[in-house]
Amino acid sequence: MSYFEDRDLAPDPNDDDEAYWANCAQRRLTFQQCGACKTVTHPPISVCPHCQSLDRGWIEAPTEATVFSFTWIHSAAHDSVTRSLPYNVVVVEFPSLPSVRLISNVVDAEPTSLHIGDALTMVWEDIGGGILLPRFRLAADSKWS
Ligand SMILES: [Zn+2]
């Protein structure tokens, strides 16, 4: 079952993030890296924000991830998420890649079980149509578990 039941929440790839979503479809979480200055950024964009190079490549995401910040949503701003309340929105950080943070969800968390600094394990959520989303679970070795 999807974290969100409504399929309308699927991403709509554009020229900048089409390769990102294609990599996700192959169960590869990747981030964009500048070919000139090697700065890693997310979300994908066509020009390096550091040196303005158009030379954009991809690197595999680190496997170690933690909760940088989070919130629990208790009031739906759109009908498509009403049945999913309450749900979390998490800012995931990668300790070995401090220039990148990823917005996602921790699918197995309860409002009292999610903390800043929790270790996370990435999981793929197949929402159909060839779209896989990077979601997270609390890692077994989380300092809070
Ligand atoms: Zn650059």
The stretch 4-21 carries a mean pLDDT of 85
Calpha distance 81→97 (Å, rounded) = 31
Measured in Å, residue 47 CA sits from the centre of ligand 1 at 8
Helix (H) / strand (E) element for 134: namely strand 132-138
Count of domains in the chain?
Answer: 2
Count CB-CB contacts under 10 A for residue 68: 15
Confidence tier at 79 by pLDDT (50, 70, 90): confident
Confidence tier at 7 by pLDDT (50, 70, 90): low
CA 24 to chain centre: 10
Q: Are residues 25 and 67 in the same domain?
A: no
User: Which pLDDT value is given to residue 3?
Assistant: 82
pLDDT at 109 over 80: yes
Q: Are residues 68 and 133 in the same domain?
A: yes
Q: Are residues 86 and 135 in the same domain?
A: yes
Confidence tier at 145 by pLDDT (50, 70, 90): very low
Q: Are residues 76 and 116 in the same domain?
A: yes
- Torsion angle of C-alpha atoms 70, 130, 63, 34, degrees rounded to 10: -90
User: What percent of the chain clears pLDDT 70, i.e. is strictly above it?
Assistant: 94
Let me know if residue 35 belongs to a domain: yes
Let me know if residue 1 belongs to a domain: no
Helix (H) / strand (E) element for 120: namely strand 119-126
Measured in Å, residue 127 CA sits from the centre of ligand 1 at 33
Calpha distance 40→34 (Å, rounded) = 6
Range of the domain at 142: 62-145
Let me know if residue 46 belongs to a domain: yes
Q: Are residues 110 and 92 in the same domain?
A: yes
User: Which pLDDT value is given to residue 92?
Assistant: 98
Q: Are residues 54 and 73 in the same domain?
A: no
Q: Around ion ligand 1, which residues have CB less than 5 A away?
A: 34, 36-37, 39, 48, 50-51, 53
User: Which pLDDT value is given to residue 10?
Assistant: 80
| 37-72 confidence digits (pLDDT tens) | 999 999 999 999 999 999 999 999 999 999 999 999
User: Which pLDDT value is given to residue 1?
Assistant: 63
Measured in Å, residue 17 CA sits from the centre of ligand 1 at 17
Measured in Å, residue 19 CA sits from the centre of ligand 1 at 18
Calpha distance 96→60 (Å, rounded) = 12
Q: Are strands 101-104 and 87-93 parallel, antiparallel or unpaired?
A: antiparallel
Confidence tier at 5 by pLDDT (50, 70, 90): confident
Measured in Å, residue 31 CA sits from the centre of ligand 1 at 13
